[in-house]
A and B are shown apart, each in its own frame.
Chain A
Amino acid sequence: MAEQHDELSFLSQEQSATSGLASLSPSSGLGSIAQSAMKKQLKGAKTILIIVGLLTIGYNAVAFANAQKEVDDVFNKEIALIRNQGMEIDQAELKKAKDRTLLICQLIYGGAIALGVAYIVLGAMVYKSPVPATVLGLVLYIGGIAIFGYLDPESLARGFIVKIIVIVALAAAIRTAISYQKAYGAKAV
């Protein structure tokens, strides 16, 4: 009964844990219960980051491969509109514009692939450096949404609920990571 009371009082102090308390040492049974609970939440953050990373890489790798076709389709539509108005197109300028547009598309998709790789690396680092990995993961995720929202505002609405869930999960993971680090004295990176 006394042990249960201690466990409950510890869990209620989890969010405001101060460091260096003997009751939080990993060697005690109560400490290991709390530690495994925190690790479970960190595992959730790790899973989210790795899944988001893989999906980001996959989607943007396909887009990168199709960038030429995408650019050709857009330009062909515009060319058809211009020709319907009876105007001629300077082929040299057209080629320059196509090359420039293709380069920008490849930069954007390449950057997104790099972002996906970053998510996976951060996911792998969650146990080793919980606070930096979760904070940077959340910052990059929000930043990625913002960048693609700026480039294509309609993308903000796509998968809105999933984005909110991921943000809330990563924010919760940050709180857990801070508590975990404070409680178990993880070396600050």
Chain B
Amino acid sequence: MLNGDGTNDPFLRTWSEKEPWPDEEEPEEEPIAEPRFEPAAAAALAPEPCWRCGKAVSPSVAMCPYCNAAIAGIYTPASLKAVVSQDSDAKSLMWLIGIFIFMLVSTIVGHGILKMMATQPDAQGVSPWTSAIVVLIIEGVDTVAVLAALALIGLRHAEPQRSLLRQFWSWVLTIPGLGAMLLLNVAYHGFLTEKLGLDIERQFVWDNDYYLLATWSLAVCIQPAVIEELFFRYLMFGSLRSVMGGHTVVWITAVMFALAHIGVPLSMPLLFVFGVFLGYARWASGGILLPIVLHFLHNSFVLLFDSGFF
């Protein structure tokens, strides 16, 4: 693999035009740490930068000795070199946290408006259409914010692509996982209402109006599945993955996912668990399509269940 200047020296390799290697006449050779597992043929392989920390590592080792990133074994050999090795971009992380704050504020404001409308002296509660439209407006604002983040920060290549077999099994094994999540959802809310006597008000009142049901589907099933996954499991996951291990990223994005549903505070613990499930689905499959599908199916079931179809 040639450098931009035609040389083949890995220590002079430029991985990003924005952040070139320091300009030194004779770059110091950084000693490569003793690899943990190294077949005999590995000695002949030139060291490659680790896809996460960027340090020179033999490509045959199982794990990077500096940051514990998996190198060999679970990734396809071709994809290891194809990954855009990103430096931890603190600036993009700050932007994403800023957009997360913006989403929280828009949710608080939207639900505040609904509460004010419901508590007006002459009001007889908020009509289902009004609720649906206010929710759509909040989500429209969030959609614009997330798309702006995508345009600002760009695509995030979190890690090398998983092997096809692993992707296949990740899709298959999430089917029972989704079933378990739905059962947990019903059991948790049943526990809150029956045992603790808490009043969980039904949000998706549709009065046999299919147009209203379609509006709720857009607001509750389609938009969250696409936009929330784009933000939490694509942008945020990608940004954090370059500085953290996979497990930590899954749990942190799950916390953020739960907090983003501030309009339903009693459901936050369940949403945290759901966020963990989606995070591991994202990590195992290596792509965002699986969590989008799972999120859509889960929310569709909840919508139909709460609307009285089951």
- Give A contacts to B, CB under 8 Å: 13, 15-16, 18-23, 96, 99-100, 103-104, 129, 131-132, 135-136, 138-140, 142-143, 146-147, 149-151, 153, 171, 174-175, 178-179, 181-182, 185, 187-189
Contacts and interface: CB of A to CB of B under 8 A. Distances in A.
Contact of B88 (A104, A129, A143, A181): A181
Interface of B: 18-19, 21-22, 28, 30, 52-56, 66-69, 87-88, 90, 93-94, 97, 100-101, 104-105, 107-108, 111-112, 196-199, 240, 243-245, 247-248, 252, 255-256, 259, 262-263, 265
5 contacts: A182-B87, A187-B67, A187-B68, A188-B67, A188-B245
B67 A178 contact: no
Contacts of A18: 19, 21-22, 54, 87
A188 B69 contact: yes
A170 B244 CA distance: 18
Contacts of B88: 131, 178, 181-182
A150 B265 contact: yes
B112 A153 contact: yes
A22 B94 contact: no
A11 to B, nearest CB: 14
B111 A150 contact: yes
Given A18-B54, A132-B244, A139-B255, A175 B108 contact: no
Which 5 pairs from chain A and chain B are nearest by CB?
Answer: A143-B259, A22-B28, A20-B55, A175-B90, A146-B104
Contact of A15 (B52, B90, B244, B262): B90
A13 B105 CA distance: 35
Contact of A149 (B52, B100, B108): B108
Contact of B104 (A138, A142, A151, A153): A142
B19 A135 contact: no
A18 B22 CA distance: 9
B231 to A, nearest CB: 13
Residue among B28, B54, B97, B105 with most chain A CB within 10 A: B97
A96 B52 contact: no
Contacts of B199: 100
Chain B contact surface mostly: loop
A142 B255 CA distance: 11
A147 B245 contact: no
Contact of B53 (A132, A138, A143, A185): A185
A23 B196 contact: no
A185 B67 contact: yes
A132 to B, nearest CB: 5
Contacts of A189: 244-245, 247-248
A174 B252 CA distance: 14
Given A178-B90, A178-B243, A138 B97 contact: yes
A17 to B, nearest CB: 8
A17 B237 CA distance: 22
A150 B108 contact: yes
Contact of A20 (B56, B112, B196): B56
B101 A188 contact: no
Given A18-B54, A153-B112, A147 B262 contact: yes
A185 B66 contact: yes
A150 B94 CA distance: 23
Most buried by B among A100, A135, A153, A185: A135
A100 B97 contact: no
A146 B67 contact: no
A99 B198 CA distance: 10
A103 B30 CA distance: 60
A104 B28 CA distance: 62
Nearest to B104: A146
B55 A147 contact: no
Contacts of B196: 100, 103
Nearest to A170: B97
Given A135-B252, A171-B97, A188-B67, A146 B108 contact: yes
B68 A139 contact: no
Given A136-B252, A146-B259, A181-B88, A188 B265 contact: no
B240 A171 contact: no
Given A20-B30, A174-B94, A100 B197 contact: yes
